Structure formats: structure tokens, C-alpha cells
Structure 1
């Protein structure tokens, strides 16, 4: 047995509530077992080094003992490279395990509330419906909302997920073992057995490589995303639908509450070409094939399992004529099942679906089909056959047999179809422009499209979109880029024909800044058969502008107003049910203008767009391009949706789920269902409660926010884009160069080969600032803005406090900033600043950042009335307090390794060690990318 003084066991705070004792117990258990593994695998010396460094870090963080910090540094500085690797892995793995313990505690608390019949909590469906009742929302209004409701989290492959799939799978195994221990009453022998299972899982984790030896390919990213369907989406979406239907039926029993598939998972992986040269037409085709294989494999397994659950004999129960006919058509003629019509019908369904799997993708079924059968034409035919079973059971006294596997399978087929998830296409507007220019030039329509004014472009494009005559000719030569773009759209058309129209429904234009950007895409769709022109045009995919920079956000309402005023485009929208989606970019707008200005311009853009769309009588659906970190639009989803301006949600919303956030939200079935529930609940509330009660705040609030935004914008731009040497400071004081080499995604980290901040993707920009513990994109500019505004408005603090109290947008903005600042550490950040080759430059810029941090903290606490960060979120505050002693050694070692690596030492272990620290810091901060 390990002595009681083992790594990672921290004494609980005296005032910690008893309800959190199980979390502390789980964390101690996992820490003790990790300590056992560490001692057994690495020896007593490494174990001692980890423990002494941890204790010193705890003393420094809890007591502010500077000598303890020096003691930690002395211990870590004395390590060999191999020993440093082991120490980094030890602290990293504990942070991973702590995350699992926290997730399990959230599940535990949810179950405790359910068992105790507690009042429904914020973010739950039950609480959302209570709020609708309080707002006197009628059944008609509610029915109208859910019938047209669309809630779609969209999985993307943006590179902030630093965990390998193997690591995630092992973490899932540990989470399941924790859950089993939590739910069962175990004997001492069973408890010991479970601990042994946990030990072996942690031992396996320790012996599994943390880092990828090669960069992920796009198809690897597709496969990683597919793993979340088996664990979470296939099981939890049907359960969530059932919960919502039951709640609605109880409140309004006289209504038909058969829900449409209002909650769908989307994907960018395999279709997002913006800046990723590895996404091609063959990759898009293979991504859809893998998705279809996953969906049909799930259905085939569930149909087989249903056969075991429905051995009902016709000698004992009647069946509907439709079910009898379905059984009669089955190739199953076994005399042993002649009186079992449900099993025979399921055998026939299985055979048809197996034939479909082969016809679509040459996919073998998990089990041999009994006989040959015609494949299904589409997933609707499969759902109809399954519904025959459900209807027959319901009509003949067996309705309760349909409530679980069969009904959930029917719903799964309706939601996932044969395609699993629609794959969005995305490309930069510049690429579309070059392709259209080449087509027009080759067809003799204009020699220099790029030289045309915006009005001239709109006129020319409108003429071409009115004509059925194609521009493309198979007899002409085009560039590789143009051929690649056309191939993508031709492949999309083939996929829609093969897997169903819902397989690809969206095409997104990055860097949209004009009406012609949308018309250019429309022309490419026309050339590839995805847009049919004529008296009754038919647009087969949604054309979606993505407004990303501050200036583009400001122009978004003007651009969409002009677009919707074009008769030809309005004709296109008629075939899309008079709905138009608009995507808003949180990441690039933040990098462009800073946290405060980005948030305000996004908010104003939504107000402007809602007004424009209401005037044109077109339904607006907003697609929020949020990342995991606050600097990329992250933060709690419930508060974010409720903080949207009046009219901006309207029952439909799409939100990107990116990087490490996907695993954090959806690797656990229970946590995944809770996150999906939050999205649906918040959408209901933001649509219907707002409709009746929400009033946009007074002009004074807007005027004040506009002035604060202007001041923050200038402060941010002055530092990032106008301060001499800032680019060098950023690249030398953060591990951005080393992140470029970390194999965490298929997409290049920069749009071009330049080292300009403007060309750097927002993801590594934010990720780098998180690693050095400054988190600058999540707060910089706020403090100076408030300071200057208050200088011009004596006594204005009361107004800011009122804005925080009464305006959800402002309150959410400050809450997210509060969370980011709580994860920052100026002392650690200052040590990163000393990596800058020019000491005077490093000191000068760091002091500016430090001054702004202190101002931001001062004014944030004054506005919120708090004494310290996270005062209103004690659970997160304790979590961060407990993490710092494990983050500090990782940051210390990262700095030491960076210094040696950049000095020219060639040992490969240096770079590997740096990458290990990046992994550990990201795990400790969680929403860091």
C-alpha cells in the first residue's frame, strides 16, 4: 500500500460543503492510484521529485510563500530531460484525472437532484417549460415554435484538441469505472476489485503515448468525431426527445406532441476547405462514406437486438394487417418462427437495410442477412417499416414495448438518416472569386472580373444567374484551384443524390464582405447542378455568409439588406422556405478588434440583421462560430443564448463545437445529454420568453457600451497592431512556434506563410496566450476603456453596475471575462516575457499588459461588487485553486525547455517535452483553445 502522503492528495478547505465530499474522495483516489503507478513505473526518485514539487507549489499558492516557489524551481531545474518528461506526464495526467472526477461529480449532482425531486434547475427542459408558463406562453405558441425549431451543434476539426483518441478512450474507461463505483452498493471485496480496475486503467494510460508522432489527416479527424456518436449521440438524442415529449404532454395533454427532428448534429469535418488544402472532393466523399457506415451499422445492430426483444407469438397476440404483410414479405421462412411475425418482419427489415449498406458503400452488415432483399430507396422507407411495428404493437395491447429501443431507433433514423450528419461546405470568398473570374474569362464574358466595381459585379452575376446557359466547358482548361472547387460541388451533388438531400445542406462563405460574394457562390452552385435557374428556381443548399472582422460585422445588415432586395436572390430563397442563415465569426473578430469590441459588434450585428430580415419577411437563422475559449466566443452556452438580443434566436440556432470542447462536452453520455438539453432549453426560453417579456435595454446602455467598445478597440489595436516589436514579443514569449509543430490537426496554423498576426488563425493565437497564462484575447482593453470612460463620466460606476444587473448581454460578457482572468497568472506570465530576446522589449510590453490587467481587475470587481474573481461561482473557484499547484510546475518546465530549445540544443526530447507541457496546461485550463 502507498503511504498516506501521496501525490495530488490535497487537504480540503474547511468551509467546503459536504455535497462536494464525493468529488474530493474521487480526486484523492485517482491521485493515490496515479501515485502508485508513478512509484512502480518510474521509481522512488521521480515519485519524490513530483511530491516535493507539488507540496512547494501548494504552499506558494495557498500561503503566498515565495521561498516555496524557489524550492519548486530548484527541484524542477535539477531534473534530467528524461526525469522532466516523467514529471510533466505525472502532473498532466493528474489534471486529466481531475477533469474526469469533476465531470463525474456533475453527473452525480444531477442524479441527486433528480432523486430528491428538486426544483428544476436552470438550463433544464423542465425549468424552461416552467419559465414559459410563467411568461404565459400559450400551447399554440409553443407548438408553433417546436414545429419549426432547429438546434444544431456543429462539430468542427479546429486544432485545439491535443488529446489522442487512444487517450480519450482510456479516460472514458476510467469515467465509467468511477460511475460504477458511484451507483452501486459495493462489498469490500467489490470495492477492492473496482480500485484494481482503476489502477490498471491508469497504468495503461501511463504507458500510452500522449503525443501523436504525425499530424492528423482529415479522415483521422472524421473518425475521431464519429466516436462520439456511439457513446453519446445515438443514445442520448432519443432519450432527450422522449423527455421533451413527455414534459409537453403533461402540460398540454390535448395536443399532438410528436416532435420533428429539431435537434441535429452537424459537421464541418471533411467539408471545411477554408485554409485547409487537404480537404478535397475525394476526402468529402470518403467522409460521407464513413458517416453512412456508422449510421447503418448502428441501425443494423439495433434491429438485430430488437429481434431478441420481440419474440411475440401470433398465437397469443394479434397484429395489424400492415405488420402481417411486412412479415409475409420477409425472406425468413424458418418453421421455428412462423408464428413470430415481429421477428420475421425485423429479419426482412434487416435484409433490406443490409442490401442498402452494400448498395451505398459496399458495406458488409455486422451479421449475415438471412436472404436477399431490395435495398431501401431512402431512410424514410426504413422509418416507415419500423413505424409499422410500433403501430401494430400499440394497437394490440403492447404499446409499452415500443417506448425504448424501437421508438429510439425510429427517432434515430429520422434524425440521422443514411448520412448521419449533414456536412457543411466552407471556402474563403477569395477562392470563390478567383474561380468565378476564371469561368467568366474563359467564357468570354469579362476579361478582368477583379477590376469590376461591386455594382458591375452584381449586374453581371445576376445576368448569369438568370440564364440557363453554363459557363463551364469540358473543352477548356482551368486552373487546379478552379477544377478543385467545381469537383467539390459536383461531389456534393452526387452525395445528396446517393445519401439523401439532407446529407449536404449548407455552403458557407468565409470572409464575406459584399453581396457579390454570395452571388459568386450561387454561380458556382449553378454550374454544378446545385442551383436550377428558370421560372421556378431551385436552390439545393443554403448559401451562408460568414461575417468575421469588425468591419464586416458592421456591414452585415447593409449587405444582407441589399442581397434580400435582389429579386433573383429572393426567388432562390423561395425554394429554401424563405429562410436564410447567417454565420457570425467570434474568433477572428476578437483577434481583429479585441474581446469587448468583438462582443459588442456581434450583438449589434444581430440586432441589425433581425430588423432587416423582419422587414423583408425572411426567417433568420444565426450560426454562431464560437470556440472553446472566451477569446473565441466560448463560455457557458445557456447564458450565451439567453444574452442574445431580442429576435435573434427565433427558435433556430446553430453553434460550432470546436477542438477540446467536443470531448469535454460529449465524451460522457450523461454530460453530453445535459449539454444538448441546455441548448434546447435555452433556445426555447430565448425565443418564447423573450417574445413576451424581453425588452431591449435603454439607449443609455447602448450608448455607454458603444463608447466603451470604441475605447477598448483603440487600446487593443494600439497594443497588438501598432506597438513596435509586439509581433516579436508574442512569438517569443508564447510557445506559438512550438504549437505549429504539435500534431493536433490537419489544418495549417496560418492562412499564409507570412508571420503577420493578421494572417495567423485565431485558434493558435488564443491557444498560445493561454499557455503563457495571460489569456490576453479574453480581456485586454476593458480596463483602459472603463478608466477613460469614468474620467469623462464622474459617478458613472452606478450606471455600469446597473448594466451588469439588468442587461444579460453585459452580465454574460463580464462573467466570461471573470472566468478568463481567474485562470491567468501575472507572475508566471512575467517569466514567459523573459524569453524575449530583447530584455528591454520584453519588459516594456509586459508592463503594459500588466498595467491593463490590474486596471481590468479593479474595474471588473467594482462593477460586479465582488471581492475576487469567481466570487459568484465557488465551485469553479475551488476547482481552479486546486489546479494551480499542478499547472505551475508544468509552466515552469515549459519555460525551461523552451529556453534550451530556442538556444539551439538539438535533443529531440526537448521538443517532445515542450509538447507534453502544452498538453498538460491545456488539460488543466480546459477551455483554452
Structure 2
């Protein structure tokens, strides 16, 4: 792709509008540079013919998109059909590489914007200080401080297979991004600048020559190690940095000279290597290994920081006299670790603070290497106690900056990550538990499945003994349908360990996923808290209880509109129930990255929650491509954490709760109409005879299962005769690939039309955050939908009735979304986003046409060999379209 092929010059003059000005020139420059280098690589690799074919297809799809001329898209289809299999693959890879480069340029620009914003004065919108300022205005200083002290943001990393890129590709992209950052500070025309350009060309050449497809499916432990790369590269350093920025704001000019007051509000959970619902590859041994890998990473990080800070803590005892408590700690170190203490003492004979911290570092190392070593720390709490003694001694001697500086960062890291890094949260399906309990209580030989279920409890007990109870105590029950499903968890624990007293400490968490289960949630909870095991845990935890809500299956169950309202209603009722039962509730949101799985801007979603459902605590799943998008870069990760924490604080502000409550009451009748009509419309489609096999025909649903995306199978069974056995992720992924995005919007058009009152809809959009968030998310979904390409995918099936139903609802939804927002065009109010979608869409169209070519060939009788060129082309385009649309499942 030459410079002339880049987004900035690809749009015809007639389509240029004021949205062009919203794109920063620095971003345009980066995209131009990377696109030009890619064009050079294509020319060097495949010659002028390859570059010509890429450029020709690019020109045709842009003309078709901008002019909406069918002739142009038909010409593009003819060109794609004429490609040899080898050429089709090369062109698909070229467009995929382009998207990877564009994505990284946009991420790089986002970091650039964040740096500029950080350098500006005043409160940043969506920041914790801004949220605190508002809370202080509404509640007063004391209550605002209390809310901050209780703040918790708790993301849980999951290994759901939505990251379409190979790790090798991600690593290459990261190297290119780093070079782009170096180029920002290099001077044009210098040796350094020229060298960076040469290295960029080299890395883009490697990216082009690297197969974008995994050859083998990753194991659960591969997924664990991938997640650990995020921790090592960003989270370990970023989290204390966020605390520090908050602390500096809270203390103002006294920051560093007074004890830190910012709370360690971030907690990390993980399902990776622990979520066994439908994943036979996650075994008890895998969970044990996954926890060991995580602990190794955090202990190595803590050891490194303690050593670095200890070496710099060269404060002489004469000027910084130690307290009696520190002297006692040093004596204890001499007793517990005499050899280590003696070795350190020779290097710091008159620097007791330094000596104590270096011995602490040595004990952390021993903890990592051999947990039963006599000098190993029994727990993170013991380490934290030693660090507190050290801090207090420094403060007593007047060395406040040493006490509150880098040493405080280490304290925050221990508070946040402990010795376990992330809590391993086990999840299993209620039906599996029922069957295991039936076998275990019936006597006789146990099946391998039941043996494995029981072994999981023994593993949890081991993890709690090894890393502490906080390392693994949450046990999530998928498809909780009664309180008996919760009791089964405790019964199996007692059986596995021989008695209830020997069983591990467990908090069984109900997961309400279907429409029916969401509606029955409070009834089930009423029965659940009567269980003796649950009552004991409530007494032990100060009446803390966690409840999980599933966005994915509820949306697949009744459609996106009804699911949105059902989830809001369930949260509202559960929050009221918790308040009436004196329970400190934490709602755990099983959100996905895509719009059909609860996706969209998470901070906006937090603010749209019903009154009493947040209360300063927000727990949410982060998965697949979302993990890397939110936490792959330090600046972006810091901003995301701060935004989420700020939204979690603001969600419970009286003004926000009152607004949400009033709006929910005012628009209750509208919700009833929309719920009923959208559900009927959704069922008209998904419950039509033969829908499931038709869905498999008109989307690449079956073929997605061939992609080595993750360790988890794409569906629960082998049949596509029923949607019940299909997981929500491929359900969403497949519709996205087909440029239909049905899971994000289907049924909304009929629902809005049934309300009919445009003024009422516009008032709801202006006044009710939940409704506005839903409409905005659908607007984004529609922006990435293409009716002409959707029609081509739908034509792959033999059900004109279903195809007509889909396209009619698509048109109706687009019409009524514009009426509800009062805007003439989709994304009219978000010009930067609108332009980004417009610039990307023609390039995605090219990949869609290549995918359609592959699908048409594969759908021919007898074409079932997954290794043939058509299947390979299809998988390449799946990867490229995912990169272009920037969301999968």
C-alpha cells in the first residue's frame, strides 16, 4: 500500500466533511508513514503485481463505499473471484497487516493524547479527583473520604477465546509501537531517525511474513503465561502509579512529607486456568500450576522492588536512628535468617534501615523458591507487617520522603497483589455439580468427571494453605437455578476433604445467566442465605455476599433489548434485597468485549447501574482482545483503571442514583412495551424452524471453531441444531464477521417503533443513562454493519424469509435509532469515531469479499477439508476482519 492508499487520501472529495478536522495530524502522519512502509514491503516481497492487485481492490471498495454504487462492489467481487488462491491469501494478509498497523497507530496516538492531558492543569474529566470533588460537594468531606476508603475496582481476567491474533503477531506489533515512540523524540534527518525508519521497515517486513494464524490451539497454561505478560509489562508498575497520582492530589503540597492516604483499591482476579465450565482442558493440576505461575511472577516482582529500594536506602543510623521496633525486627531477622542477615550486615553495618529491607528482599526470594524454607514469609500479611515497622521507623527519624516514596509503592504492591497476584476463581456448571454429587453419595466407582470435580476442592485447599485463603476462595456456579445448586458446592467440598471442617474456605457465588434465572434471582437468594454454610460465611465476612450476572447468555436467550432491561431490573431487585437483609453486596458483571455481550464503554455502563447496586464496588470480567486493549500499554492501563474507579465512586453519588431511579420509574411503561415487542421479534427469528443450521450457513460460525483462538471449545456439544449448545462468544463473533452484528441490535427497531412517541424516546435518551448507553452502543454496532455485504452473507442460505426478517429489522433499527437521537446520521455526534469507522470500513469490505469467496467455495458439496486453500483463506479473513472491526466476541 503506497502513501496514496492511506485513509487520509482514500476518501473522495465529495465525502470530505468537518469530521476530517477532528483527526489529529500526528495520527495521520503515523498512519501515512506505516502505510507507506507496508507498501514498500509488499513491493519488495511480491513485486509490482501484488501491490497493483492490492491497490486495485482498495480503489474499488472505496469507490463502492463512498458512492454506494453496486457496480463498484460487483467489480470488486469480480476482481476477488479472479485471484489465484495464492494471490487471494496474499491480499488478505496485506489488508490484515494494514489494520494491525492502523490499530497500533491509533493506540500510540491515544497515549500521546493522554500525555498531553496529564501535562495540562486542572481536574481531568472522569478522573478520581474529579469524582471525589463531586462527591464532596454532594456528601461532604467526611462521607466522600469514607467512600474513597471503601472503593474497590476488581477486574477478572478470563481466557474466553476472543483474541484472534497470534502472540507472535502481538509481539511484533508491540515492537513497532515502541519504535514509533522512539521516532517521536528522534530528529528528522539524523542518523537516529534514519535507523528507526530502517528498523520499522524491518519489523513491518517480519509482520508481513509472519503467519497470522496459530498452528496449534493454546493450552490453558499458555493462556496463563500470556496474561502474565500483561502483569509484568504494565499492571505491576501501573497500579501503584495510579495510587501515587491520587495520593499526590489528596495531599497536595504535603505529598511525600506525610504518610500516604490513597487506598489500595485495585484487586485482580483470574479465571484463566480455573474456569472449567465447558473446558475439559482445565484440570485441578492446571489450576495448581496456574496459581504457581502467578505467584512466581508477583514474588519475583516484589523481590526485585525490595532489592532496588533497599540498595538505595543508604541512610546512616546516626542521622536516621532506628526505632526500638526496628531494632527488634533486625534481631528477629538475625534469629530467623542468620546467614542472610550476616551477609547483608557486612554491606550495611551502620545502615539498619537498608539492612532490614535487604533481608526482607532475601526472605521474599526464599518464599518464591521454596515456601517451606525456614526464612520464607508465611504470608503476605507478615511481609506487610515488616514493611510497616520499617516505614514507622523512617518516619520517627524524620525521613518521611524515604518512608512515603518508593517504599510506599512496595507497600501498595503487597496490599494489592499479595503473594498470589490474582485470585483464582473456580467456575463450574451446576449440572456437573449435580451429577458429581449424585455419584458421590450413591457409592460405587466414581466417573473420571466426578473424581476431577472432587480433586478441584483438594487443589483449592492446597492453594489456600500455600498462598493464603485470598488466593482462591470464590467458587462460581454457572446456571444457578436454585439454592440447592449453592448447597451442592459445600456438600462436594466436605466429601472431597472428608468433612465440612476440613473443606477449604469457600464463598459460593450464584451466576444468573438466563432470562428466567435473572427473574428468579431474589427468590433463590432468599433461600440461599438460609443455608447454614452461607450463614457461616456471612458471619465470618461481615455479611459480605457476591452475586454474578451473565450478559452473554441472557442476550442470546432473549435478545439484546430484553437482556438489557432484565439485567437492570435484576440488579435493582438484588440491591433492594441486599439492603433489606443487611448484606454488603458486590455485583459481579460478566461482560464481554462485544456489544452483544455487554460491551461498550464500561465506565458509562457503571454510571447507568440502578441505585444501590454499586456502592463503591465494581467487579467485571475482562477478556480476550479487551485485556490487551485496556492493559497492554501503561498509559492506557492507568487511564482505564482511573476511569473505572472514578465511575465506581460516582455511581453512588446521590445525584446519579436519584436520576437513575427517577428515569427508571418515569419510563417503566416504555420499558414494558420495548421488552415485550423486542422479545417477540427476537423469538420470531431464533425460534424459527431450521434457524440454527441456517445461521451456520450464512456466517462462518462452523469455521470459527477451526481457529486456534483459545483452549476452550467453541460449543458445548457437536450439534448446531440448537443454539443452547452454542456458546455466546462464537454466536457474537459469527454475526460480527458477517457484517451484520445482529446480536447488538436485533429487536430494537421493532421495540422503538412500538413505542412510537419520538418525543418520549428523545426524552429518555437525554435523561436516562441506561437507555442512552443502549442506544449509543447500538449506534456503534450499526456503524460497523453493512447492508450490502450483509445481504451477500444472507444469500448463502436458502431461507429468504429469515434473510428478509434480518434486513427489515436492520433498516427499522437504523431508522428509529436516528429518530430517538434526533440525528440525521449514525455517529453524527461523535465525529472522531464516525470518521474512524468510515475510514476503516472500505478496507474491511475488501476482506469481507475475500471471505465471501471462501465461504461460497466451502459451502459447495464435498468441500470439507479444513486444510484446503479456501478454508485457509477464510481463517485469514476472520483474523483480518477482527482486526479491522476491533472486536470479536
| TM-score, normalised via structure 1 length | 0.89
> What is aligned with 1:472?
none
Are the equivalent residues in 2 in contact too, given 1:490–1:529 (CA < 8 A)?
A: yes
Task: Please give the residue correspondences for 1:320-359 in structure 2 after superposition, counting only pairs within 5 Å.
Answer: 320-323=323-326, 329=334, 330-332=341-343, 335=346, 337-359=348-370
> What is aligned with 1:300?
303
User: What secondary structure, in the 3-state scheme, does the structure 1 residue paired with 2:509 have?
Assistant: strand
Task: Please give the residue correspondences for 1:360-509 in structure 2 after superposition, counting only pairs within 5 Å.
Answer: 360=371, 374-442=375-443, 477-509=445-477
Report deviation, 1:119: 4.6
Task: Please give the residue correspondences for 1:709-724 in structure 2 after superposition, counting only pairs within 5 Å.
Answer: 709-721=675-687, 723-724=688-689
Are the equivalent residues in 1 in contact too, given 2:493–2:503 (CA < 8 A)?
A: no
User: What secondary structure, in the 3-state scheme, does the structure 2 residue paired with 1:696 have?
Assistant: helix
Task: Give the distance between the partners of 2:35 and 2:406, measured in 1 at CA.
Answer: 39
> What is aligned with 1:17?
21
Between the two proteins, the alignment pairs up a number of residues equal to 870
User: What secondary structure, in the 3-state scheme, does the structure 2 residue paired with 1:664 have?
Assistant: helix
Q: Alpha carbon RMSD of aligned pairs, Å? A: 2.5
Are the equivalent residues in 1 in contact too, given 2:114–2:635 (CA < 8 A)?
A: no
> What is aligned with 1:867?
824
Task: Give the distance between the partners of 1:139 and 1:166, measured in 2 at CA.
Answer: 50
Task: Give the distance between the partners of 1:252 and 1:591, measured in 2 at CA.
Answer: 53
For structure 1, which segment, 661-670 or 244-253, has the greater mean C-alpha deviation from structure 2 after superposition? 244-253
Task: Please give the residue correspondences for 1:455-854 in structure 2 after superposition, counting only pairs within 5 Å.
Answer: 477-528=445-496, 532=500, 540-565=505-530, 569-690=534-655, 693-694=658-659, 696-697=661-662, 699-721=665-687, 723-755=688-720, 756-790=722-756, 796-836=757-797, 838=798, 841=799, 843-854=800-811
Structure 1's 199 and 14: CA in aligned 2 closer, same or farther, altered over 3 A?
A: farther
Report deviation, 1:647: 0.7
Q: 5+ residue gaps in structure 1? A: 362-371, 443-475, 791-795
User: What secondary structure, in the 3-state scheme, does the structure 2 residue paired with 1:597 have?
Assistant: helix
Are the equivalent residues in 1 in contact too, given 2:660–2:768 (CA < 8 A)?
A: no
* Residues 23-59 of structure 1, C-alpha deviations (whole Å, 9 max, x = no match): 1111111111111122112222111111121122222
User: What secondary structure, in the 3-state scheme, does the structure 1 residue paired with 2:587 have?
Assistant: strand
Q: Determine if the alignment matches structure 1 residue 889 to structure 2 residue 846.
A: yes
Are the equivalent residues in 1 in contact too, given 2:796–2:856 (CA < 8 A)?
A: yes
Report deviation, 1:314: 4.2
Report deviation, 1:611: 1.3
For structure 1, which segment, 401-410 or 827-836, has the greater mean C-alpha deviation from structure 2 after superposition? 401-410
Task: Give the distance between the partners of 2:602 and 2:28, measured in 1 at CA.
Answer: 27
Structure 1's 93 and 24: CA in aligned 2 closer, same or farther, altered over 3 A?
A: same
Are the equivalent residues in 2 in contact too, given 1:542–1:576 (CA < 8 A)?
A: no
* Residues 497-534 of structure 1, C-alpha deviations (whole Å, 9 max, x = no match): 1111110021000011111111111222333459956x
> What is aligned with 1:248?
250
* Residues 852-876 of structure 1, C-alpha deviations (whole Å, 9 max, x = no match): 1111111111011011111121111
Task: Give the distance between the partners of 1:651 and 1:407, measured in 2 at CA.
Answer: 24
Report deviation, 1:161: 0.9
* Residues 150-198 of structure 1, C-alpha deviations (whole Å, 9 max, x = no match): 2111000111111122221222222222233335666643332222232
- Of 259, 268, 275, 2:271 maps to 268
Task: Give the distance between the partners of 1:52 and 1:130, measured in 2 at CA.
Answer: 55
Are the equivalent residues in 1 in contact too, given 2:212–2:876 (CA < 8 A)?
A: yes
* Residues 86-105 of structure 1, C-alpha deviations (whole Å, 9 max, x = no match): 11111111111111111122
Structure 1's 806 and 14: CA in aligned 2 closer, same or farther, altered over 3 A?
A: closer
Task: Give the distance between the partners of 2:462 and 2:504, measured in 1 at CA.
Answer: 15
Task: Give the distance between the partners of 2:221 and 2:435, measured in 1 at CA.
Answer: 27
Task: Give the distance between the partners of 1:256 and 1:387, measured in 2 at CA.
Answer: 11
Are the equivalent residues in 1 in contact too, given 2:556–2:743 (CA < 8 A)?
A: yes
Structure 1's 256 and 643: CA in aligned 2 closer, same or farther, altered over 3 A?
A: farther
Task: Please give the residue correspondences for 1:41-52 in structure 2 after superposition, counting only pairs within 5 Å.
Answer: 41-52=45-56
Report deviation, 1:618: 1.0
* Residues 304-333 of structure 1, C-alpha deviations (whole Å, 9 max, x = no match): 322443344446654444445656732325
For structure 1, which segment, 671-680 or 689-698, has the greater mean C-alpha deviation from structure 2 after superposition? 689-698
* Residues 396-454 of structure 1, C-alpha deviations (whole Å, 9 max, x = no match): 44433455532222211221111110010101111111122223333xxxxxxxxxxxx
Are the equivalent residues in 2 in contact too, given 1:594–1:716 (CA < 8 A)?
A: yes
| TM-score, normalised via structure 2 length | 0.93
Are the equivalent residues in 2 in contact too, given 1:621–1:652 (CA < 8 A)?
A: yes
> What is aligned with 2:234?
232
User: What secondary structure, in the 3-state scheme, does the structure 2 residue paired with 1:478 have?
Assistant: coil
For structure 1, which segment, 735-744 or 54-63, has the greater mean C-alpha deviation from structure 2 after superposition? 54-63
* Residues 270-301 of structure 1, C-alpha deviations (whole Å, 9 max, x = no match): 11111111111111110001111111111222
> What is aligned with 2:176?
174
- Of 68, 71, 75, 1:67 maps to 71
* Residues 2-39 of structure 1, C-alpha deviations (whole Å, 9 max, x = no match): 97535666357463236611111111111111111221
Task: Give the distance between the partners of 1:832 and 1:694, measured in 2 at CA.
Answer: 43
Structure 1's 404 and 46: CA in aligned 2 closer, same or farther, altered over 3 A?
A: farther
Task: Give the distance between the partners of 2:841 and 2:512, measured in 1 at CA.
Answer: 37
Task: Give the distance between the partners of 1:901 and 1:776, measured in 2 at CA.
Answer: 23
* Residues 651-685 of structure 1, C-alpha deviations (whole Å, 9 max, x = no match): 11210011211111111111111111111111000
> What is aligned with 2:87?
83
Task: Give the distance between the partners of 2:412 and 2:712, measured in 1 at CA.
Answer: 35
User: What secondary structure, in the 3-state scheme, does the structure 1 residue paired with 2:619 have?
Assistant: strand
* Residues 864-916 of structure 1, C-alpha deviations (whole Å, 9 max, x = no match): 10111111211111111110121011000011012223324556332222111
Are the equivalent residues in 2 in contact too, given 1:531–1:540 (CA < 8 A)?
A: no
Structure 1's 693 and 701: CA in aligned 2 closer, same or farther, altered over 3 A?
A: closer
Are the equivalent residues in 2 in contact too, given 1:489–1:530 (CA < 8 A)?
A: no
User: What secondary structure, in the 3-state scheme, does the structure 1 residue paired with 2:156 have?
Assistant: strand
Are the equivalent residues in 2 in contact too, given 1:630–1:816 (CA < 8 A)?
A: yes
User: What secondary structure, in the 3-state scheme, does the structure 2 residue paired with 1:624 have?
Assistant: strand
Report deviation, 1:259: 4.3
> What is aligned with 1:212?
214
Task: Give the distance between the partners of 2:29 and 2:654, measured in 1 at CA.
Answer: 41
Are the equivalent residues in 2 in contact too, given 1:37–1:199 (CA < 8 A)?
A: yes
Task: Give the distance between the partners of 1:110 and 1:924, measured in 2 at CA.
Answer: 23
Are the equivalent residues in 2 in contact too, given 1:429–1:517 (CA < 8 A)?
A: yes
> What is aligned with 2:162?
160
Task: Give the distance between the partners of 1:782 and 1:400, measured in 2 at CA.
Answer: 57
Task: Give the distance between the partners of 2:61 and 2:499, measured in 1 at CA.
Answer: 62
Q: 5+ residue gaps in structure 2? A: 335-340
Are the equivalent residues in 2 in contact too, given 1:738–1:915 (CA < 8 A)?
A: yes
Structure 1's 187 and 43: CA in aligned 2 closer, same or farther, altered over 3 A?
A: closer
User: What secondary structure, in the 3-state scheme, does the structure 2 residue paired with 1:61 have?
Assistant: helix
For structure 1, which segment, 67-76 or 801-810, has the greater mean C-alpha deviation from structure 2 after superposition? 67-76
Q: Determine if the alignment matches structure 1 residue 280 to structure 2 residue 274.
A: no
